Amino acid sequence: MTRITLTKKLDNNDVYSIFFAASLYLPTIFLFPHWTYIFAIILAAFKLKYYQFYQSDLLVFYFAFFSIINNIYGLIAGIDLSETSFSFLGVPLIIVMLIMARIMDHNIVKWLILFIFIEALVVIFESYIGKQYIFDGQYWGQTIYKTDLLYYNRPFGLSSNSSDIGQKIFLGLLLFFYFNIFKDKLTSYFWGVVFFILNIALILNLNRASMLAVFTMYLLILVFHLFLSGFSRRSILYFFVFTSCILFFVFNYADEFIFQITRGGMTIDKDITSRRLLWETAIQHILNNPFFGNNSITYRISLLSGGNLENQHAHNSFLMLLATHGILVAIPLIIYTLSKIKRYNIPYVFPIFVYSFFQYGIFWNMSLMDIVFFTILIGYSGSDGALIRIAKKKDT
């Protein structure tokens, strides 16, 4: 009888994958400041000799260059940047993220998902013991309420707030499908458990933008797979199971779910009003400063919340991009993004757009979501997920 083992010796590529995945993940937890992405940049530098720039990358360079010029102009003109974060040194990091996106491969992604999986277990543990966070130094900038509503008791995992871990779980699930993590039959059961835990943690975290993005991704993957496979039996079965689960949930738990995500049914109008105020203020700012934004890399809106005046971002990545850089500066990045959207990556790109419509997701200067976003836009050549394979066969 042949003995099958799931263990193997780590080679240099495995070690690199572990360290690179860790350098991407660690800056997202409360213990490590954002500047620790410098370690990911250093590790990425080791791969520069294998890196090849493409003509389309010039659009990203143009965006970075014009952004720096725009920021310098704001500094020279003495524009009030008290409510912004003036740092033109941050803009070129988008080029670094482009390099990182091309470094991402199956091994790195697996380790990155495992790190997110560990934090998902922490989310489940925090929910079990009835605490939002474990470490005192973890709490940052989020009001703690004494209530039985799940929304106000959302676990932080190992992050600084509940939104950050919600975003990471979404990205973990997205990478699961884009890189077809289930393809290794020897470890498919293990990855099945990881996938299940991530979904449970997503529900317990109750981040609405992340849940909507994940639902959108599942639906698009099923629909695309159904059509691109020519309505195969397996695709029809998957679609039937998914639809049945949704109908079962709607008929049995919809009222409780709506009650929880609307914070007891009392604040949905407040949520809509807050978003509308933020968006209307940002749109007005864009109309007043259409070409060059506020000559900075971020934009804040003063909003009364809980009796306190808070500076908040616009909760919309696209408005943030235009509010900070303006239309003229943002055009190269917009063209680059739109040119990279293909039929086979729509099920992964569009959910990120959905998330970023309600939250500040993409278009940071350096973030895990941006790195994942660029990875999907570029199209990892080694990714052999069923959906991508089918789509490419149809295109040829």
Contacts of residue 313, Cβ cutoff 8 Å, sequence gap at least 6 = 298, 299, 300, 301, 320, 360
The mean pLDDT of the chain is: 80
Domain that includes residue 315, residue range = 12-395
Is 214 part of any domain? Answer: yes
**List of residues 6+ apart from 166 with CB closer than 8 A:** 154, 202, 205, 206, 207, 209, 210, 211
Residue 4 falls inside a structural domain: no
Q: Which two tokens stand for residue 349?
A: 């790109």
pTM of the model: 0.85
Rounded to whole angstroms, how far apart are CA atoms 305 and 318?
Answer: 23
Q: Hey, CA dihedral for 376, 381, 384, 389, is it positive or negative?
A: positive
Taking the C-alpha atoms of residue 74 and residue 363, their distance in angstroms, rounded to an integer, is: 20
In a domain, 6, yes or no: no
Please name every residue paired with 302 in a beta bridge, in sequence order, or none if there are none: 311
Paired tokens of 13:
């590529």
Tens digit of pLDDT for each residue in 160-206? 888 999 999 999 999 999 998 877 666 778 999 999 999 999 999 98
Tell me whether residue 246 is in a domain. Answer: yes
pLDDT tens, position by position, 334-348: 999 999 998 889 999
Return the pLDDT at 331. 95
Q: Which two tokens stand for residue 373?
A: 């976003």
Question: Distance between CA 340 and CA 345 in Å, rounded?
Answer: 9
Q: Which 3 state secondary structure label does DSSP give 4?
A: coil
- The candidate with the shortest Cα–Cα distance to 119, out of 58, 188, 41, 171, is 171
Asked if residue 7 belongs to a domain, the reply is no
Q: What CA–CA distance (Å, rounded) separates 337 from 32? A: 30
CA 237 to each of CA 216, 240, 244: distance values in angstroms, whole numbers, following the listed order: 19, 5, 10
- CB proximity list for 309: less than 8 A, separation 6 or greater: 302, 303
Least confident of 52-61, 266-275, 333-342: 266-275
Distance between CA atoms of 134 and 156, rounded to whole angstroms?
A: 9
pLDDT band at 313 (very low <50, low <70, confident <90, very high): confident
- Count the domains in the chain: 1
Per-residue pLDDT averaged across 347-358, rounded?
Answer: 95
> Is 28 a member of any domain?
yes
Which residue's entry shows tokens 């979501």?
369
92 is a domain residue: yes
| C-alpha dihedral, 116 to 298 to 355 to 271, nearest 10° | 110
Token pair of 7 as six digits = 């263990």
> pLDDT at residue 370 above 70?
yes
